Every structure is written in C-alpha cells, then in structure tokens.
Amino acid sequence: MTHPLIARLETDLGWPRLRSMEEVEAFTARPGAHCLFIPGDPARNLETADAAVVLPELVMTFQRAFDAAVVDEAIEAALRERTRALRTPGFLFYHEGRYLGAIEKIRDWGDYTTRIPQILGLASA
C-alpha cells in the first residue's frame, strides 16, 4: 500500500513511478535536470511523508528547474547502492543522465535552497 502523500505525487502531480533501472536511466537521460525521490519505508520512517510534501514545494520554488519522479521500492536499494545515497528519504539529482548528488533525510528549508543550486551547478562543471 502506497502512502497517500506519495500516491498524490503520481495521481495529482503526474510524476512517474520508476520501476526498473532502465526506467531510471531513460528518465534521467532526458534533457534538463531531474530529481528522483527515494521514499524509503513510510511505516518505519516518519520523514518520508514530510519529504513527499517538501519535494513538490521545491520544484515550484526552483521554478521547475528540475522535474521529479518517484522511485519504486523494488529498485530503491539498488539505486541507493549505486549512488551511495544510503539514507532515506532521499532526493537524487541528475542532469541529462549524469548523477550530480543527493540530499538525504529531511533538512531545514535553507539547506535545500543552498544545496540544490550547488548540486545543479555541477552539471556545468
């Protein structure tokens, strides 16, 4: 059973759920910047629901400088291992197929507004 706040990302906002590493690669290879939301287990991690509320706000705050997708639990562990972003919830940032970095766990709003431009800036480095 998907947590209602995570389900909302798909049903109300139209974010895709990525169920395979091939889907991750196809989504992140598209033009522009992308954020993958790794929820973790919402029953065990109360921050998961918070992250599901925070990420849409970040997409709007950054004026859609990046789009977003939800990572399915079936591939969460493999993707966390691949990126070394092991703690959940996590926001993984990519630019045209290149992994840029992650923000793990819930942070203060100021941390997001500082770190996201830094991470996205790595795309031009």
Q: What does the pLDDT look like over 62-112, one tens digit per residue?
A: 999 999 999 999 999 999 999 999 999 999 999 999 999 999 999 999 999
Dihedral over alpha carbons 39, 84, 100, 106 (to 10 degrees): 40
Do 8 and 17 contact (CB within 8 A), yes or no? no
Predicted local distance difference test score (pLDDT) of residue 2:
87
Higher pLDDT pick, 8 / 123 = 8
pLDDT averaged over the chain?
Answer: 96
Predicted local distance difference test score (pLDDT) of residue 10:
97
All domains in the chain, ordered by first residue: 4-124 (3.40.30.10)
Rounded to two decimals, the pTM is 0.96
- When pLDDT is cut at 50, 70 and 90, the band that residue 1 belongs to is confident
CB burial of residue 77 (10 Å; 0-12, 13-18, 19+): exposed
